[in-house]
Amino acid sequence: MSIFKEFEKQCATSIGKLRQVADAMNAEMHAGLASEGGSKLKMLNSHVDKLPTGNERGLIYALDLGGTNFRVLRVQLGGRDGRVAKQEFTEVSIPPELMTATSTELFDFIAKELARFIATEGQGFFLPPGSRRELGFTFSFPVKQLSISSGTLIRWTKGFSIDDAVDKDVVVELTKALDRQGIDMRVAALVNDTIGTLAGGKYLNNDVAAAVILGTGTNAAYVERAHGLLPKSGEMVINTEWGNFQSSHLPVTEYDQALDQESLNAGEQIFEKIISGMYLGDIVRRVLCKMAEEAGFFGDTVPPKLRTRFVLRTPEMSAMHHDTSPDLAVVGSKLNDIFGISDTSFETRRVVVELCNIVATRAARLSAAGILGILMKMGKDTMDEGEKQRTVIAVDGGLFEHYTEFRSCLQSTLNELLGDEAAHVVIEHANDGSGIGAALLAASHSQYI
């Protein structure tokens, strides 16, 4: 129990500590905006200066590429009254060999599937006379954005490795593939999933001012009142890339440090490694492994699977955390299925649930502190007397959507941090915001408006 207690102490997130994290997030955002490379936060200019208003009309396509599969959708927008009059989508798996092939092969595959989808365009979808089809492209990999409809790939993540695409404009690559397929379509907007979620949220609710992804990875975007680089609207959407946030105030343990050292990007994405779905289960596994090695937690021998990285995934951790059966039967069966550990005592299972709770609580509370940092940067952490405007944060991602304990802890922590101001700040789940968001951004940047 001393290993357990020590870990619990290191993960503690007092309200005082969370305020320090929020202050640091705010300071890093300022530094990242002030100069390129001035902070671990990239604070990328998304070149989105027109968010959807609800007046958008016409037929728009979207392509959402963010991992091992991609979605293609089409929406018919009916303006202020009709809104999203009709939408259809299809999801396509990318063959594993294409993830390490050439840029041409990957984009040709995507364009072929897009052509197949366009061919099924039926009733209820129509192009205004004299216009061509337009596309919003959600590309959730690190990109240096050059304009609303162009950007060069900085590096691949999530298992992709196509060297000849790096430093190339992904819109140019996609457009060439569309031409090869004989598709007459203009890419009107290039966005990442966080920006798409913000746009989709804003379309449904005008009070949306920021978007956060809490899934396999994590990121946040918000509306910055632009200074200097002024577009006409005086607003600019900033992609913070907050997963790379680092601060001496973050409660980092020896287990987090070991996880970081063994990762592909050691020293990077520290915030992401403490709060996102890809890593939480593995942190729990690492603590259990130490308890087994040094204190015989699971008996005389250390179950070999306890030493396998990422064998405990966050959905399984969540299932154990949410186990309400009187004898914690779910925990018992998961320990058996995942690690081959049978015959666990009730006491052992109870400790495992507690461990899941410590890791999930730290992640949720730090996420809330990050959100407070963004609210501070926007000047929306306090309200003036008599002001009625709400601030809505659109949140998407599997961790937020499916991990109930995480979600409720995030909400209660934010309320605690904001105090009397909490009534003005609302967290809303934006389901699949990124695909529809890309379509809406293509519509608001259409050449036909």
- Tens of pLDDT, residue by residue over 293-306, are 999 999 999 999 99
Q: Is the pLDDT of residue 227 over 60?
A: no
- Catalytic-residue membership of 155: yes
Is the Cα torsion angle 143, 146, 148, 149 positive or negative in sign?
negative
**Does residue 169 surpass a pLDDT of 90?**
yes
Average pLDDT for 123-128? 85
Would the pLDDT of 37 be above 90?
A: no
The token pair that represents 113 in the structure block? 């599937």
Q: HSE (CB half, 13 Å, CA atoms) of 156? A: 19
Q: What is the mean pLDDT of residues 411-421?
A: 95
- Tens of pLDDT, residue by residue over 237-265, are 999 999 999 999 999 999 999 999 998 78
As a residue count, the chain comes to 449
Q: Which of 46, 140, 276, 434 is catalytic?
A: 140
User: Band of the pLDDT at 233, cuts 50, 70, 90?
Assistant: low
Q: Is the pLDDT assigned to residue 417 strictly greater than 90? A: yes
Contacts of 16 (CB under 8 A, 6+ apart): none
d(CA 241, CA 265): 15
Residue 327 has pLDDT above 70, yes or no: yes
How confident is the model at residue 211, as a pLDDT? 97
Per-residue pLDDT, averaged over 148-166, amounts to 87
Specify the pLDDT at position 199: 92
Helix (H, G, I), strand (E, B) or coil at 227: coil
Token digits for 441? Answer: 């951004």
Which of 132, 155, 225, 309 is catalytic? The answer is 155
Top-confidence residue, 122 or 371: 371
User: How many percent of the chain have pLDDT more than 90?
Assistant: 72
Give residue 52's pLDDT band: very low, low, confident or very high (50, 70, 90). Answer: confident
Return the higher-pLDDT residue of 28 and 229.
28
Q: What is the mean pLDDT of the chain?
A: 92
| Cα–Cα dist 441/449, whole Å | 12
Q: Treating both helix axes as pointing N-terminal to C-terminal, what angle do 280-295 and 2-10 enclose, rounded to 10 degrees? A: 150
Instruction: Look up residue 72 and give its two tokens.
Output: 């293609």
Q: How far apart are the first and last CA of the chain?
A: 65
More confident residue, 201 or 142: 201
Are residues 447 and 188 in contact, defined by beta-carbon separation less than 8 angstroms?
Answer: yes
Q: Is the pLDDT of residue 55 over 90?
A: no
Amino acid 383: pLDDT = 78
pLDDT at 449 over 70: no
Render pLDDT for 65-107 as a digit per residue (tens, 0 to 9). 877 788 999 999 888 776 788 889 999 999 989 988 999 999 9
Strands in 215-323 per DSSP E = 218-225, 235-239
CA distance 158 to 34: 30
Q: Is 207 helix (H, G, I), strand (E, B) or coil?
A: coil
pLDDT at 387: 73
Quote the pLDDT of residue 231.
Answer: 55
Question: 49, 64, 193, 256: which one is catalytic?
Answer: 193
Highest mean pLDDT: which of 71-80, 135-144, 331-340? 331-340
Q: Residue 74, class by beta-carbon neighbours within 10 Å (0-12 exposed, 13-18 middle, 19+ buried)?
A: buried
Its pTM stands at: 0.89
List beta partners, residue 91.
Answer: 71
- Judged against a pLDDT cut of 60, whether residue 416 lies above it is answered with yes
230 falls in which pLDDT band (50, 70, 90)? low
Judge contact between 84 and 437, C-beta under 8 A: no
Given a contact cutoff of 8 angstroms between Cβ atoms, the answer to whether 89 and 436 are in contact is no
Quick one: which of 63, 91, 62 has its CA closest to 75? 62
Structure confidence at residue 229 (pLDDT): 54
What per-residue confidence (pLDDT) applies to 232? 60
